[in-house]
Structure 1
Amino acid sequence: MKVSCDEQGIEKASQIIENGGIVVFPTDTVYGIGCNPYNKESAKKIYEIKSRDFSKPFPVLVYSKDIAEQIAEFDGISKKLVEKFWPGQLTIILKLKDMKLKESLNLADKIALRIPNHKCTLQLLEKCKCLVGTSANVSGQSSFFDPQECIKNVENYDVFVDGGTITSKGESTIIEIQNEEIKIIREGSLSKEEILDT
């Protein structure tokens, strides 16, 4: 099923997510695929759709910093970074507090979180609070910016939220704070310089 990025489409998509469905949606970086992160079976389906190794944990998109703080622990540096870059293209790996997510997403003691800067995604997150948010592609293949290309190449989801073509510099940048230092895990659309300049 394909829906538009309007009130009805978002409502429909959020109901499908609530019932364990898989959603493909636009973000400020690339088209993403997600589900309710507390639903273990749904998360498992996304691993299968992406042919992704089960040992690679999924990042989670959240609606607000308040929700992020219920899920993970922030130190001074990470608070400062999210203040500057959220909503935006920064994914930060933090110490996990939420034991339900540990179980459903098969996490160790860390989780990668982000608030995306995209109106459509934020409207969806406002209803769902948080979503698994990984790129909608088979692992190892290119991410999608064009909805038609994405629809042609991704299978077995329940609802596609069409937000038109995404213009971005690519994936989010992933960082982690280690020994009070910022470590770049994956350099994406935010450069190392921009982040270290904080």
Structure 2
Amino acid sequence: MITSDERSILQAARTLAAGKLVAIPTETVYGLAADATNGDAVAGIFEAKGRPHFNPLICHVSDIAMAGRYALIDPLSRKLMDAFWPGPLTLVLPLRPDTHIHPLVAAGLETVALRMPRGIAGKIIAALGHPLAAPSANTSGKISGTSAQAVADDLGAKIALILDAGPSEVGLESTIVKVDGDAVLLLRPGGLAAEDVEAVIGQKLQRMDQRAAIEAPGMLASHYAPAAGVRLNVHEVRHGEALLAFGPTRAINAQAAAAHLNLSETGNLREAAANLFDYMKRLDRLGSAVIAVEPIPFNGLGEAINDRLVRAAAPRVPPIAELEQIK
């Protein structure tokens, strides 16, 4: 694990060019990165995470010009790029027919999910000269890493290099949007509030049914899950549960919780988003069978927070090895 600075940019780019995996800090969460044009390297992401191959990866670019080399950009998507890049917005776009992005990245789809990250990640991509496939740096389906130490604890032995830039600023994965004719689809709520996107495009985003086909990362029904069970919208705590609180008012019987952390004492949704994955990990390590979560409003970033919590509480998908045994 090394500190993110100007010297580490070239070291990370050299490591990626050699086909190895690098954990990189972004403003959303830490990403497990590989050269998106190198099939062996991309396969290493799936192997390290234990990620299903039908689940596509976000492709990170250094600028809009790089995005245009790999995808067809419609005017409305370009408007969103101008407004929110670099930042926590991913756009799903048609792949160019002559693209060099490896097919594993798109998981067999004719589209690619593109994002331009803020900070040192963009500099690494520019130094490499290729886009980076970079899902969150955690075991598939588990809680995303928002610090270098969380990544090291989970995947350290499987990664050639981990860059440390401190806690992630946003703390939630990017919002994913797709322009589909006259409609604009919200495929995954995230670190950019839907209302901010709607203000730029001048129309409402259409929400996707959770049963819809997987078109982008983070659409699996069970995802972001701790080892403990998760109970949502709790108004009364059961004895021995760990409590994930929100705001100044506690649920009934909160004193019976084995432990508790408050996402935001003041009810600030931005603070809650930044703390979500870290606090879930910390409560999970205490060994309670259930994490009880107090209600969180759905406005603004609350939509993305609730999306992650619903997926964390969903029935768990068996690991790939178990699925093979079931066949």
Report the TM-score when normalising by structure 1. Answer: 0.94
Question: 2:38–2:102: 8 Å Cα contact kept in structure 1?
Answer: no
CA distance in 2, matches of 1:3, 1:10: 11
**1:47 match: secondary structure:** helix
Question: What is the aligned partner in structure 1 of residue 227 from structure 2?
Answer: none
How many aligned positions are there? 196
Question: What is the aligned partner in structure 1 of residue 68 from structure 2?
Answer: 69
Question: 1:96–1:102: 8 Å Cα contact kept in structure 2?
Answer: no
Runs of 5+ unmatched residues, structure 1: none
Question: What is the aligned partner in structure 1 of residue 142 from structure 2?
Answer: 141
Change (3 A) 1:21 1:95: same
CA distance in 2, matches of 1:169, 1:44: 26
CA distance in 1, matches of 2:103, 2:187: 24
Counterpart amino acid of 1:125?
Answer: I
Note the alpha carbon deviations across 1:93-150, whole angstroms, 9 max, x for none: 0000143215453542100000012x21122112023211210011111111122122
- 1:162 Cα deviation after fit: 1.1
CA distance in 2, matches of 1:24, 1:176: 27
Question: What is the aligned partner in structure 2 of residue 166 from structure 1?
Answer: 168
Question: What is the aligned partner in structure 2 of residue 99 from structure 1?
Answer: 99
- 1:186 Cα deviation after fit: 0.2
Percent of pairs with identical residues: 29
Question: What is the aligned partner in structure 1 of residue 193 from structure 2?
Answer: 191
CA RMSD of aligned residues (A): 1.4
Deviates more, 1:101-110 or 1:51-60: 101-110
- Determine which structure has more spread, i.e. the larger CA radius of gyration: 2
CA distance in 2, matches of 1:89, 1:137: 18
Question: 1:39–1:104: 8 Å Cα contact kept in structure 2?
Answer: no
Question: What is the aligned partner in structure 2 of residue 82 from structure 1?
Answer: 81
Deviates more, 1:92-101 or 1:103-112: 103-112
Deviates more, 1:129-138 or 1:161-170: 161-170
Runs of 5+ unmatched residues, structure 2: 201-327
CA distance in 1, matches of 2:151, 2:103: 30
Q: Which runs of 4+ in 1 moved over 2 A?
A: 102-108
Deviates more, 1:108-117 or 1:124-133: 124-133
**1:91 match: secondary structure:** strand
Change (3 A) 1:126 1:100: closer
Matched, 1:47 2:46: yes
Matched, 1:178 2:177: no
Question: What is the aligned partner in structure 1 of residue 115 from structure 2?
Answer: 114
Question: What is the aligned partner in structure 1 of residue 123 from structure 2?
Answer: 123
Report the TM-score when normalising by structure 2. Answer: 0.58
- 1:15 Cα deviation after fit: 0.4
